[in-house]
Amino acid sequence: MSANDLERKIVVIGAGPAGAKAAMAIADLGSNVLLIDENPYVGGQLVKQTHKFFGSKDLYCGLRGFEIAKIFEEEIKKRNNIELLLNSCAVGLYLEDNKKVIAVVNEEKLIKVISDVLILATGAYENFLLFENNDLPGVYGAGAVQTLVNQYGVRPGKRCLMVGSGNIGLIVAYQLLQADIEVAAVIEILPKVTGWYVHYAKLKRCGVPILTSHTIVKAIGKDYVEGAVIAKVNKNFKIIKGSEKRLKVDFICLAVGLTPFVDLLWQINGQLKYIPELGGFVPYYDENYETSIPNIFVCGDVSGIEEASTAMLEGEIAGISAYEKIYGETKETKELKEKKKKELLNLRKGPHSKKILVGLKKLRNDS
Amino acid sequence: MPKENYNPRIFEHPILKFEKKKLVKFYFEGKEYYGYEDEPIAAALIANGIKVFHITKEKKRKRGFFCAIGRCSSCLMKVDGKKNVMVCITKLKEGMRIERQ
């Protein structure tokens, strides 16, 4: 071990909703935990979310994402058994004997972090979409638009085409209106809007055209986006000739889904399964969120694309399970975990969770 | 579409409050601009109407800001002489010299 090495019993990578809650659960059971995040703040993508959350009091209902991120920061500071390592990006994972060795880049330094039990709460990254001129400046991911507008108060443009009507597309389109940016249209390739009705209704009330069975054909512009061509599609998702329409927009926002960030587990040959309902390749994990590699857990979007409230519960379950690996199962941990599992089940009772439940069934079945 | 007195900076918002930060001078391709200290370089560039961050070597295609979280490499620029800096996650400091690489 060199001076820069850290050796800790339990390490959590990622301080978004899943990782932050995992660390808090571990700390509340009485263990020390090291929480690592690449950003200079905790909360992950919550910091750029301005809509109010649903669910229960325990899951911060009625509060906005950035407010929840602030609560996380305070709650983590309050617990002196959580060691927080910010501005630190986990870039590599290795197995040495029974230890998990993580290569972490902090500013310009490389730190070796050695752990017995590891929780990966690394989240997801945005999907891209293939169309002509998709590399033109002014084609943004929805997350980037949220970062610019909500975190730094900068408008990417005056008039936007939103591609995708899932929750992110709908919510971000509404956030653009709040920032005094026009939304020319929200387009969706499926014959129906895929996000929650409540978010759809807000946009509809503001008069934003929401066009289903539509796709983007190309971006127009010499140096940056000056327009977009959209078109209708048939039931096989093929463009209907003659239905092309040109929109005058100065930026295009892609909200076409997320892919779990599984790279660290991949590096050590952790078992992955391709499950479209969960967002693509996801780690195999059991009911306690343990992967195919003993003592490595996953939670949140890396375990399947869902949303922040379920990510928090998954984090707590993974956190309790990680604690048990070191300190053993007790009546307290068992009961607490059962309670969290029940809450998660309740949260997934709505029609929007059907896809996740199908995906989870596939994950568990033929492995 | 064009709004009068359009400014990419948001000063009024129904939910969010943007604290006034320290204004700092920086250079893009040798020209002087202003941005807020510690905001991402990319945010300062966009606030100044600069959208093209990079021109590809072979096909001379323009590239801009895409993911904002240090994943996609679309925003690599030369900052104070250092190449391949992700300007979406690098904080703006007084006097920085930013160039297309």
Q: Confidence band (pLDDT; 50, 70, 90) for B4?
A: low
The interface pTM score, or ipTM, of the predicted complex is 0.94
Taking the Cβ of residue B51 and every Cβ of chain A, the question of whether any pair is shorter than 8 Å is answered with yes
pLDDT at B1 over 50: no
Give which of B4, B13, B80 to mutate to test A binding, by max A Cβ within 10 Å: B13
CB of A141 less than 8 A from some CB of B = yes
- A155 with B9: Cβ contact below 8 A: yes
**Residue A19: pLDDT over 80:** yes
Q: Chain A closest CA to B33's CA: distance in Å?
A: 15
Asked whether the predicted pLDDT for residue A2 surpasses 80, the reply is no
Question: Does residue A116 register a pLDDT over 90?
Answer: yes
Query: Model confidence at A1, in pLDDT bands (50, 70, 90)?
Result: low
Q: Is A274 exposed, middle or buried (0-12, 13-18, 19+ CB in 10 A)?
A: exposed
Q: pLDDT digits over A184-201, tens only?
A: 999 999 999 999 999 999
> Given a cut of 90, is residue B18 above it in pLDDT?
no
The per-residue pLDDT for range B29-52, each reduced to its tens digit, is 999 999 999 999 999 999 999 999
Return the pLDDT at A266.
96
First to last CA, chain A: 38
Residue B19: predicted pLDDT? 82
Q: Quick one: pLDDT at residue A136?
A: 97
Q: For residue A114, what pLDDT is reported? A: 97
- Tell me the per-residue pLDDT of A121-138, one tens digit each, with 9 for 90 and over: 999 999 999 999 999 999
Task: Using an 8 Å CB-CB cutoff, list chain A residues near B63.
Answer: 135, 137
Instruction: Write out pLDDT tens, residues A53-95.
Output: 877 778 888 899 999 999 999 999 999 999 999 999 999 999 9
Alpha-carbon distance of B63 to B51, in angstroms, equals 8
Q: Give the whole-number percent of chain A exceeding pLDDT 70.
A: 99
pLDDT on residue A366 = 64
Structure confidence at residue A3 (pLDDT): 66
CB spacing of A125 vs B71 below 8 angstroms: yes
How many helices (H) and strands (E) in chain B? 1, 7
Q: How many CB pairs under 8 A join A and B?
A: 96
- Tens of pLDDT, residue by residue over A238-279, are 999 999 999 999 999 999 999 999 999 999 999 999 999 999
**CA of A24: how far to CAs of A68, A75, A84, A319, B79, in Å?**
14, 8, 11, 8, 38
Chain A residues with CB under 8 Å of B64 CB are 136-139, 224
- In tens, the pLDDT along A23-52 reads 999 999 999 999 999 999 999 999 999 988
Contact state of B16 with A144 under an 8 Å Cβ cutoff: no
**Is B51 in Cβ contact with A223 (below 8 Å)?**
yes
DSSP letter at B2 equals P
CA separation for the pair A163, A177 (Å, rounded): 16
What average pLDDT does this structure show over A208-225? 97
pTM summary value: 0.93
| Rg of chain B on CA atoms, in Å | 14
User: Does A367 have pLDDT greater than 70?
Assistant: no
Q: Produce one character per residue of B10-49: b if its CB has 16 or more CB atoms within 10 Å, e if not.
A: beebeebebeeeeebebebeeeebebbeebbbbbbbbbbe
Tell me whether B69 touches chain A (CB under 8 Å).
yes
* A155/B3 touch (CB, cutoff 8 Å), yes or no: no
Q: Is A96 on the interface with B (CB under 8 A)?
A: no
Contact of A127 with B53, CB cutoff 8 Å: no
The C-alpha of A268 sits at a distance from chain B's nearest C-alpha, in angstroms, of 21
pLDDT at B61 over 80: yes
